[in-house]
Structure 1
């Protein structure tokens, strides 16, 4: 068990940034495993507040090559997030197929936060390369660009959780009114050895919104074209803000 802190400056309109919350739990799980993550899934039960949280991790199975860990994040005795992860190094196996990085302009010097963006973006460097403006009534559900941290930190497993949830929702360009979109669950599959240097090129897409839920798929590449991670999340699409 570890005692951590939800720091100020990571807020969104509905509480602390989900990827940041996931990263706190992922860090505790990674410490318990002693290996890098290959698959991390977290379900978000309720938004925490800024302040202390408790992260616990249980090694469910320690194999020779793969470790399975469950995790729990609590605040004031109430569960905030539940996690399940697989941690392992590389196997000596053939490489099959490719997921080529899109051809986009390289990252420039650090940019200012996107206009109207929530506080957590002041900790991020985000340079758009894909998609249209949010709430523009576009016919495309694709967003993304170069994304990293303003402090220049390397990207490890917990940091990947932040970046995989770092852009505004891919569904927002299709809309014309602001619908909050809190994450229900987020899965990150790590496809390369960590850590890697940032920023990463991230592309997020969505296909379907039904009954107030939509999915979002992400891909993140290094500047050299290595696919580092793939992500998928299910999110709510709540009534518009007035």
Structure 2
């Protein structure tokens, strides 16, 4: 049985690189969709297109970059995928989300298989209490619909505390108990509240302009659902813009995916 996330990110192939999608407001933030949800939809269609080229190879995504031109509505839309170059173990693609004859989002992606080479790993998971040691947040009462689709346990960085450092961290998992995969990781990395919220007393409005996700390793085949650690940091917010870094870690300390985004930083309308 499919989870709500799988249903709401489904991409039906129509042929010639075109996919039908149906955006659901279960993943909304205010008047439009969460950027991570749009990225997940794009990656779902991109993955399907790569799999159609080499059904046996299952090349994993390594990079996804999405630009958000204008917010789509909670209605059907199409994603148009173009294979820009296909090599033996690497595929470059572009995609457009189109609704009512308007381009809502554009994406570029790289899928690349594992290959021999010198390896190193200097990544280090942040110190954090185990999820079993923490109380669960009541996300179903959150002011935005998308956060209610997840379970969360807060560790640090309180919105509105006017702190000295724009950093926030917690444990997170899908409420529907789905193990993390690349499509879900693309959504999760944008669902936690923005790091700049920690340095202000009055919370700003922070819509995403551009969002990039990197997958440093092939995310393992889905196993039992579990908590994942998420950390968000930002160094500056100037001229009405900020860039934010996000990391998603497995419980056993593997860096599953990381993201960087450029977003607006605006006063909320009264």
Q: What residue in structure 1 maps to residue 263 of structure 2?
A: 235
Give the counterpart of 1:177 among 202, 211, 214: 202
Partner of 2:128: 104
> Do structure 1's residue 13 and structure 2's residue 30 form an aligned pair?
yes
Match of 1:125 among 144, 147, 151: 151
Structure 2 partner of 1:162: 187
TM-score (norm 2): 0.85
The alpha-carbon deviation at position 115 of structure 1 amounts to 5.5
Q: Structure 2: give runs of 5+ residues left out of the alignment.
A: 1-17, 52-58
Q: 1:46 aligns with which of 57, 60, 70?
A: 70
Which residue number corresponds to residue 63 of structure 1?
87
SS at 1:101 equivalent: coil
Given candidates 153, 156, 160, the residue that maps to 1:135 is 160
Superposed CA deviations along residues 14-40 of structure 1, whole A, max 9, x for unmatched, are: 411110011111111111122221000
2:227 and 2:103 map into 1 onto residues whose CA distance is 32
Query: If each structure's helix is expressed as a fraction of its own residues, which one has the higher value?
Result: 2
Q: Which residue of 2 aligns with 1:30?
A: 47
Inter-partner Cα distance in structure 2 for 1:222 and 1:168: 20
Q: Could you say what secondary structure the match of 2:235 adopts? A: coil
Select 1:89's aligned residue among 113, 122, 129.
113
Query: Once the 2 structures are TM-superposed, how far is the Cα of residue 111 of structure 1 from its aligned partner?
Result: 4.3
Distance 1:233 1:99 in 2: 20
Instruction: Indicate if the aligned counterparts of 2:197 and 2:203 stay in contact, CA closer than 8 A.
Output: yes
Tell me if the contact between 1:179 and 1:241 (Cα under 8 Å) persists in the aligned partners: no
Moved over 3 A (4+): 108-111, 114-117, 195-198
Indicate yes or no: 2:237 matched with 1:212: no
Counterpart residue number, 1:223: 251
Q: Distance in 1 between matches of 2:140 and 2:232?
A: 17
Q: 1: distance between equivalents of 2:195 and 2:141? A: 17
How does the TM-score come out when normalised to structure 1? 0.94
Confirm or deny: 8 A CA contact 2:70 2:105 kept in the other structure. Answer: yes
Contact kept in structure 2, 1:222 and 1:228, CA below 8 Å: yes
Does the 8 Å CA contact 1:149/1:198 hold for their aligned counterparts?
Answer: no
Does 151-160 or 75-84 show the bigger shift?
A: 151-160
1:241 and 1:178 map into 2 onto residues whose CA distance is 11
Kindly indicate whether the alpha-carbon contact (under 8 Å) linking 1:12 and 1:120 is maintained by their aligned counterparts in 2. yes
The reply on whether 1:191 has 2:191 as its aligned counterpart is: no
Aligned positions, number: 241
